[in-house]
Structures are given as structure tokens and as C-alpha cells.
């Protein structure tokens, strides 16, 4: 598994845990960081985990507004917590990380939904992120996410 894919999974775990347990994202992040310190193999992706979690926290109001606007017929509270976390990470990457190609950001989110969420989640995540991607800043569309 590539470093950024691993980082997305770790960030997803942090956001999901905070949401489900009613904890602050900061507390969940701090706990995950302590666990990562004990596992040297996790250090390679930890910088991107930090960027993702920090980015989602700093832009959560904007991200959530985009999700609510483009998730036709769905509110954030109605979405499964796992889908919320996947989509928030995907939206942050689309809107605020021009290093990641649009196709890679969407594909990674859809893959996470396919592996971890409901049967309907991959299509929902794909459609929602594709709509939001139309608003994203210009970026390269070529190379697959190589980190």
C-alpha cells in the first residue's frame, strides 16, 4: 500500500473515531500520534496524516457546506459516519491539495468506501466528489498518486 493511501486510512480512522465516540478530533489525533510513535513503520505516512486531519479540521465548515450543498437529498447527519469521514478527506484533497490529481483523490475515496462501507457508498461517494471536483482549482490530471 502506498504511503498516501496509508495516510488516508489513518486520517480516516482518526476522523471516524472522533465522530463515533463523540471525542474531539484533536484528542483522537493525539492518541493516534502516540500509537504511531511506537511503530516506526508508520512514520513515513504520518506527515500526510497530519496534513489531512489538520486540513479537514481547519476547513470543516467549508467542507461540510459543500457536502450539504451537493449531496442531493442527504444531510451530513443522515450519512454513515464512515462515509462522512471519507468524503471530508476527499473534499479537502480536491479543494486544497493541488498535488493530488482529481482522479486519484476520487479513486482513493471510492476505494475506501468500497472496502469499508456499505454497498451503496462507493457510488454515492463517487457521484458527490465528482460534482464537487468541478469546483476545484486546476491541477494536473495525469499521474496516479505515487506516494
Question: What is d(CA 71, CA 135) in angstroms, rounded to the nearest whole number?
Answer: 14
Asked if residue 106 lies in contact with residue 133, where contact means CB atoms within 8 angstroms, the answer is yes
User: Of the candidates 20, 24, 132, 145, which has an alpha carbon nearest to the alpha carbon of residue 85?
Assistant: 20
pLDDT at 124: 96
Question: What is d(CA 6, CA 11) in angstroms, rounded to the nearest whole number?
Answer: 9
Q: From residue 43, how far is each of 46, 100, 109 by CA, in Å?
A: 5, 20, 22
- What pLDDT band is residue 145 in, cutting at 50, 70 and 90? very low
Share of the chain above pLDDT 90, in %: 77
What's the pLDDT tens digit per position in 13-71?
A: 999 999 999 999 999 999 998 888 877 766 678 899 999 999 999 999 999 999 999 99
- What pLDDT band is residue 1 in, cutting at 50, 70 and 90? low
Q: Report which DSSP code applies to 41.
A: G
22: left (phi over 0), alpha (psi -120 to 50) or beta: left
What's the pLDDT tens digit per position in 63-80?
A: 999 999 999 889 999 999
Phi and psi, residue 19, nearest 5°:
-65, -50
Asked if residue 115 lies in contact with residue 58, where contact means CB atoms within 8 angstroms, the answer is no
CATH fold of the domain at 3-133:
N-utilizing Substance Protein B Homolog; Chain A (1.10.940)
**Where do the structural domains in the chain lie, given as residue ranges?**
3-133
Amino acid at each position: 500500500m502506498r504511503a498516501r493511501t496509508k495516510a488516508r486510512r489513518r486520517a480516516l480512522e482518526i476522523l471516524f473515531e472522533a465522530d463515533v465516540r463523540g471525542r474531539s478530533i484533536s484528542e483522537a489525533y493525539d492518541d493516534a500520534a502516540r500509537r504511531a510513535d511506537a511503530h516506526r513503520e508508520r512514520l513515513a505516512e504520518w506527515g500526510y496524516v497530519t496534513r489531512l486531519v489538520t486540513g479537514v479540521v481547519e476547513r470543516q465548515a467549508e467542507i461540510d457546506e459543500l457536502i450539504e450543498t451537493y449531496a442531493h437529498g442527504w444531510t451530513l447527519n443522515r450519512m454513515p459516519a464512515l462515509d462522512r469521514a471519507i468524503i471530508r478527506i476527499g473534499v479537502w484533497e480536491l479543494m486544497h491539495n493541488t498535488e493530488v490529481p482529481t482522479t486519484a483523490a476520487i479513486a482513493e475515496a471510492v476505494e475506501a468506501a468500497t472496502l469499508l462501507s456499505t454497498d451503496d457508498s462507493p457510488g454515492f461517494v463517487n457521484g458527490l466528489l465528482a460534482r464537487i471536483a468541478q469546483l476545484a482549482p486546476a491541477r494536473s490530471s495525469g499521474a496516479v498518486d505515487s506516494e
